[in-house]
Structure 1
Amino acid sequence: MKNFQIIRALSSRTAVTNISKEKEAMFIAGGTNLVDLMKKNVVAPDKLIDINGLDLKKIEFLKGKVSIGALAKNSQVAEDATIKEKHPLLSLALAAGASQQIRHMATVGGNMLQKTRCSYYYNTDMPCNKRTPKSGCGAIGGSNRMHAVFGASDSCIAVHPSDMCIALAALDAQVLVEGPKGKRQIKFTDFHRLPGNTPEKDNNLEAKELITAIEIPDHNFTKNIHYLKVRDRTSYAFALVSVAAALDLKNNVIKDVRLAMGGVAHKPWRLTEAEEFLKGKTVSEEIFRQAGDLAMKGARTYGGNDFKITLGANTITEALIIAASK
């Protein structure tokens, strides 16, 4: 790791001003992912803008929505009693991510910005278009068991690792950001990018923008919900496939539904076609199986991850069955 300088910011405005002055600078909060990347020389900023002093840690329940500050800890959000009551899907997804110790350090904003865990990205001796553009993608034709089956390109087949983000995509969250050009909002489903020809760009933040909060609109998904994460071990492992499922039921008929997947794409993967198929249907295992099969149509595998087609359909089915049974 090379030497670097830390600059402490005390407001969003000064944080943005400070980083705008520096060519090779990055924000740091919990640092649970960034420090690892620096240790492995995957990233090497000259300066870090420490934003832990910013007033962005609050969880506020406002009219028609909840606002979660970007510096709120993952554990703080997951364990909040009102979040558990009004947004239990988010609480479940956060509880499924990382270890308890990391959840106590990791922030909501940092969770959104964490990098892929693709082994080729972390190994600087291997080709990786995400780390070094136009160097090649080692995972294509290499070890790709954990990799994408949706939205990939010839440049990159890495997946986004977050559990929290899958729930936020399903719940139609909004991302609030502040930068040199002022403040703006981004739909959560538009925040992260597919790789295309520029896999080094993980999201649609503009240069030097800072995430300040996440907003989730009120909804009726408070009972029949489930977050199902399939992984190699039950603790501290990234998803092979995960599913966030939320149902709004009346007399066993699906009035509304939200579905999103993790472990399958470069961004949280919203299953809108399966959602539309399920609306108005009566709950049944057969209907859920049809939705799972429909959701996996168009998936493309790369050899090592061929199993994700069957696993994905079965995980969607099981998540829906569990959600409907609550």
Structure 2
Amino acid sequence: MVDASSGRAPPAAVFALMLNAFVWGVSWWPFRVLHERGLHPLWATALIYVVSLVLLLAVRPRAWRSFANEPLLWVLALAAGLTNVGFNWAVTVGDVVRVVLLFYLMPAWSVILAWPLLGERPTSMSLVRLVLAMAGVIVVLKRPDVQWPVPESIADWLAIAGGFSFALTNILLRKMKGVDAPSRILAMFGGGAVSAAVAGLVALALGLIAAPPAPSFGWVGVGIALSLGFLASNIALQYGASRVNAHTGALIMLSEVVFASVSSVALGAAEMATRTWIGGAMILSAALWSAWSPAPAKAAAQ
């Protein structure tokens, strides 16, 4: 827990959250390596979460029993699965910085979703943050050669949808804080595996992607390493998030944007145009503002 005497978060918890942000921030690179070797990110995502799912069930074989009594676990599985499908596919085929910024509209979506799902009525300041974030998106999307600032590629749409699903995932986790952790993790791992596999099969039937290549060390080794990385990052998130306050955790997790930006620009996977800097600053300002703001009041019972 947070050190009550000093107000500082435990260093181990901070490191754990930084590790989680680092894994997500640089995950675009192994996904692109796998894509270059013939494995589409949908198949890669399914592989990652199948490995994680098997390892979890080996340790906690009874984690699935809560699904019979907690129908929201199925919704959590779908939301977490769509988050991974959207983000992993987007960072593989799009400009990484642009994708991460659009994904981090998550605090804005939280304002919209928290009222009906958690009863948290938006305040005037939360609505201002929502407008600030949306204005940042307009700046990022508006180019001189386009008339309207709308998503212009599948990567843009996937990033926005992934961020919306991520916001829903976080709200569902808050709503189900009384559900045991292994069951929640199982829902997230299972959702990642099933959603990616189903999306892959649909895309394959429509001729949008190719079938997975024959197993070879060239991609299987990278895929397993990425699976273990995501498993470690999820464990780190569970450890760190339970030992720091919500504001500190949200601020630390924003370091994912830094990791993604630095790594992608260094490796030529992103373009830092002026509009990206300006719009990104607006989106991140809204996210930082959200991280430092007190929780909204609960709406009055009807």
Classify the TM-score, shorter chain: under 0.3
TM-score by length of 1: 0.24
TM-score by length of 2: 0.26
Q: Which has the higher helix share?
A: 2
Q: Which has the higher strand share?
A: 1
